[in-house]
Amino acid sequence: MTERFDAVVIGSGAGGGTAAKVLSPLCKDGRRVAVLEWGPKLREEEFTGRELEMAGRLYFDSGGFLTKDKSMTLAFAKAYGGSTVVYTGTSLVIPKETVTRWAVPGLEWEDLRRRSEKYAGENNVHLLGPEAINDNNRLFFDACRTLGWRAAQFPLNLKGCKGSGMCNMGCPNAAKQGTHRVQLPEAERNGVLVVTNCKVERIRPRGRGAELGVVVSSSGIGHPSLWPPGRRTIEADTVILSAGAVQSPALLLRSGFGAGLPALGRYFTAHPALILAAQHENPITNYHGHPKSYYCDHFAETDGFLLETCMYFPFTTAKSLSGFGAAHEAFVSRMDLLQMILVLALDEAERDNRVTIGPNGEPVVDYRLSPKTMRAFVSAMRASARLFFAAGARRVHAPASARFIIDKSAEMDLDTLINEGYMQTGRVAVSSAHLMGGCRMGESAADSVTDARGRVHGLPWLYVADASLFPRCSEVNPYLTVMALADRAAEAARERIASRERAAA
C-alpha cells in the first residue's frame, strides 16, 4: 500500500528540522506530515565522544567524503537533527552586506535577520560567561587585541553546557540546542512523523504532487526506525527538500530534474578550511571547555578569510597537520600544549564547482580550489602564525612552508617562510564543514534552481530548505541562516497547502 502525506520533509537538520516545526500545526487540522531522515536517532548513551566511533555513526563517509579531485574532505552528517548534531552551535546572523551580494530578488536582509533572531531565541543562543572560556580561546582573543585585529565572541545555542569539548562528535551532555533538541521534538509533539534510517532514492512528479521511492534500513545503532526495513513508495502533495548542499542537488539530479534546471548542482561553495596548530611551552586548557568561543573577521573584506578558535581530537589533528615522522608526532603527542585556529576561506560561487552524480546516483562533488582561495590560505597562515606567537606559542605549524614547523626565533621571517610555492593540494590538508549552494535561489531557471522562497522553478509542489539555497557563500557560520531560509520556505509551503485546501472547498 502506498502511504500518502500532505507534506514530506526530506532531511532533519537545520533546514528540515525547522521546516518540520513550521509545518507541524497542520497536523492538528488532520493533515499528515512526515520527515524522512537518512541517519539514525542515537540513544543518549551512544554519544560516547570517541572520535572514530562517533564519526562512523554520524557523518557521511565517517567525515572523510572526498571531492572528485581528492583535494578536500567534506564533513556533513546524517542523523536525527542532521549536521546540527555535530556543529559547535555557533549562531550568527548573516551580515547585511552578504545578502546584498547575494542579490536575490525578493530576499531582504531584514526578513532574514528577524527570522534568525526568532530561532536564536528559540534555541537559547547566548554568550558564554568568562568562567567558561578556556586558554585556547582566551589566548586567541587576547592576541587579536594585542595585534589590533577585530575579533568577537560567538553566540552559542547551548543549555547546560558542561564543556566536554566534544561538540563535533555530538554533545554527550545533550547541551547543544540543535534541531534534534528543539524543533524536531516540538514537531513530533504536534503530530509530525519522523522516520529515521530512511533514505529517499528518487522523487517523481505524480499528479499535483510527487511519488517518493525510499529505502528503510536497520543500522544497528540508535532507536529503531518507525518503519520496518525495506523499500516503499510514498506520495506527497508537497515536498520540502532539506538534505543539505551535497545530497539535495544529488537527489534532484538522480531524479531527472537536471534537464529543466541547468543551474542544478552548480555554484557549490564550501568555506574551504585549514586547521592550524601551535605548540606552547606549558600545558594550556584546550580540550576542556567549549572549543569555539571567538572569531576574527578582520581580514574578511581585504584577504577573504576568517579565523576561528577550534580544538579537535587526536586523529583529526594528526591528519590536518602536514608532514610526518618525529616532528609531526612531537606536535600531536602533546595535545595539552596545542593552541588551534580554524581558517575559513570565503570562496567565490563558480559555475563549474558543482555537485554531480556518479554511475550509481551517488553524489560527486567537483570542486577546484581557486588561486584566490589558495592566496587567502597563505595570508591566513601568516596571520595565524603571528597570532600564535603573540599568544606565546614557541613554535607553529605552517603547512605552506618547507618543513611545516616554524620556531619563535624565525618569527620575523614568516612572510618568506610561508609562501604560495608550498601551497599545494595534497600537501596541505583542506577540509570543509560549511557546504552551500547547488540549488541556489534566483529569478529564473536559467541561472538558479528556486525562487526567493525556496520553490523550485516550474515545480510548484517542490521546495528546497537548506544551505543548498545559498547563491554565494554565507561569509559566516551558516546554520542560523539555513533556519531562517527554511522558515521562509516552509511558510510558503504551508500557505500553498492551505490555499489548495481553500480552493478544493
Residues that bind other proteins (CB under 8 A): 49-53, 56, 61-62, 64, 69-71, 131-132, 134, 161-166, 172-173, 283, 285, 287-289, 313-315, 317-319, 322-326, 328-329, 332-337, 424-427, 429
CB of 160 to other proteins, least distance (A): 11
Cell of 392: 606565546
Distance CA 110, CA 135 (A): 36
* Closer to other proteins by Cβ: residue 68 or 232: 68
Distance CA 245, CA 100 (A): 21
* Closer to other proteins by Cβ: residue 85 or 337: 337
CB of 253 to other proteins, least distance (A): 18
Contacts of 229 (CB under 8 A, 6+ apart): 197, 216, 217, 218
The answer to whether 227 and 215 have CB atoms below 8 angstroms apart is: no
Burial class (CB in 10 A: 0-12, 13-18, 19+), 446: exposed
Phi, psi of 152 (to 5 degrees): -150, 165
* Closer to other proteins by Cβ: residue 285 or 419: 285
- The residues with which 41 forms a beta bridge, in sequence order, are 223
Count the helices and strands in the chain (H runs, E runs): 14, 21
- Of 244, 266, 443, the closest CA to residue 350 belongs to 266
CB of 340 to other proteins, least distance (A): 13
Cell of 202: 528518487
* Closer to other proteins by Cβ: residue 320 or 450: 320
Contacts of 300 (CB under 8 A, 6+ apart): 306, 346, 475
CB of 257 to other proteins, least distance (A): 25
CB of 429 to other proteins, least distance (A): 7
Element (H, E) at 250: helix 244-254
CB of 50 to other proteins, least distance (A): 4
* Closer to other proteins by Cβ: residue 207 or 325: 325
Burial class (CB in 10 A: 0-12, 13-18, 19+), 26: buried
* Closer to other proteins by Cβ: residue 115 or 292: 292
* Closer to other proteins by Cβ: residue 329 or 495: 329
Element (H, E) at 93: none
Burial class (CB in 10 A: 0-12, 13-18, 19+), 504: exposed
CB of 214 to other proteins, least distance (A): 22
* Closer to other proteins by Cβ: residue 4 or 334: 334
Cell of 215: 529505502
Cell of 296: 576574527
CB of 363 to other proteins, least distance (A): 12
